[in-house]
Amino acid sequence: MDRVRFFLLVLVFVFLPRVHLWAGVTCTGEACTILPNSVQAQIRQLDQTIQFQYTDKVLESMTEAAIITNLNSSLMGPGIVNRFQVGGGVGISAQQKSNIDVVSGDINLRNLPNVGAAIAPNLVAAINLGWFLGGGPSDTEPELKTFLHRFNLYLHGFSFNYGSSNVQELVERANSNLTLGGDITSGGFTLRYHLVENYSDGFGIFEFAGVSLGLGLHYQRQTLNLNYNDNKTQIVRLGPATGSWGGATEFDYSSNLTSVPLDLRTGVRMFYFLTFFAGGGTSLNFGKSEISITRSGPLNVALDSNAIATSLPSSVAALIPSGAIGQSKTGTLVLDINGKAQAPNSLGFLVAGFEANVLLTKVTLEAMVSQQIQSVMVGFKITF
């Protein structure tokens, strides 16, 4: 797997534009001393270039993906609850922006991917407050309904350890060089109020879901620990030298995110079996994330005559002994990145999906989008 692409796959969780990073790139050994002083200086400053040209943009993508997953975690559907519902599902989000070129003097990394992704399983429950307080189901006769029948309370939560034996077994099957640890805990609620009550024709052929307003509070805490020993090597170009870089990567990540969403929803049900719904809203977001990535391994490079001609002035190239050209030199290259990020203040979104009613079970697919981010939550609920 390409080294930079591996960095991207590991960084599948949460960050944002206001990122503060401190990093270091060090190069030792003969592979480094054969490089011109100008190139060695560029290597020492490479961490800043990676931060401003690439890392900040990728962290923004990952933050947005994680927050959308956090918002799309309740499996609310059109927002109608007769008595109560219980179920579960899993939410996945992803986005891909244009590839990025990182260029710093004579050092360049081309077509680096800029994507973000997140996954969050959840158990869900929903209660109609009118029924809960003894007023009967929400589809009771109009004269028996109370103001509280307009309110539905949605709850969600989940806790999972990535280091469990079953997960480790799946990880080892996918890649024996990868070890995974950490955990995820999420939870929250949304209180929905029907501004316009739902309407049914009484025959189950058509039902209007009304218009409901929801206000929620969603929390998510994650830690992730990854160790990856790569048998392959990354091709590198350091000024007039080309070669390969192998080694091991250590990744540690933690985050605490809280979102407060506000949204409107409506929908229609046809022939009892199928319901379509749609809506939109915005959320306030709070919290922070921290990351530590270390990549260390052997560097093997050689001065290339063609690269010397294109990357160095002729006066400098003339100073390089001809016997040094083409001879492979070894050393060690270390990349060490640590960072903190605050959550974005707000994020707007649209939501749409459908529910299939099968006896007492609702199978729900709920999609959420925000700019270039897409999130899908799929699950089921048993209704009572």
- For position 383, what pLDDT does the model report? 92
Note the pLDDT tens digit of each residue in 66-91. Answer: 888 889 999 999 999 999 999 999 88
- When divided into structural domains, the chain yields a total of 1
- Residue 290 sits at the vertex; the CA angle it makes with 116 and 93, to the nearest 5 degrees, is 20
The CA distance from 356 to 375, in Å, is: 19
The conformational region for residue 184 under phi > 0 = left, psi -120 to 50 = alpha, else beta, is beta
Q: How confident is the model at residue 65 (pLDDT cuts 50, 70, 90)?
A: confident
- For position 19, what pLDDT does the model report? 34
Contacts of 142 (CB under 8 A, 6+ apart): none
Output 193 or 237, whichever has higher pLDDT. 193
- For position 216, what pLDDT does the model report? 96
The CA distance from 177 to 18, in Å, is: 33
Q: Where are the alpha helices (DSSP H) in 207-301?
A: none
- For position 108, what pLDDT does the model report? 62
Contacts of 162 (CB under 8 A, 6+ apart): 180, 181, 182, 183, 184, 224
Output 260 or 358, whichever has higher pLDDT. 260
Cα-trace Rg, the chain: 27
- For position 14, what pLDDT does the model report? 28
The CA distance from 89 to 366, in Å, is: 10
Query: Is the distance from CB of 98 to CB of 114 less than 8 angstroms?
Result: yes
Average pLDDT over the chain, rounded to an integer: 78
Structural element, H or E, at residue 59: helix 56-71
Query: Does residue 303 register a pLDDT over 80?
Result: no
The CA distance from 373 to 117, in Å, is: 9
**What's the rounded mean pLDDT across residues 251-255?**
78
Instruction: Provide the residue type at 128 as one letter.
Output: N
Backbone torsions φ then ψ of 100, nearest 5 degrees: -120, 140
Does residue 233 sit in helix, strand or coil?
strand
Query: Does residue 10 register a pLDDT over 50?
Result: no
Show contacts of 35-40: CB within 8 Å, 24+ apart: 35/238, 35/239, 35/240, 35/241, 36/239, 36/240, 36/312, 36/316, 38/105, 38/106, 38/239, 38/316, 39/105, 39/106, 39/107, 39/238, 39/239, 39/240, 39/241
Other residues' Cβ atoms within 10 Å of the Cβ of residue 109? 20
- For position 1, what pLDDT does the model report? 38
Q: Which domain holds residue 100?
A: 3-383
**Cα–Cα nearest to 306, from 244, 241, 234:** 241
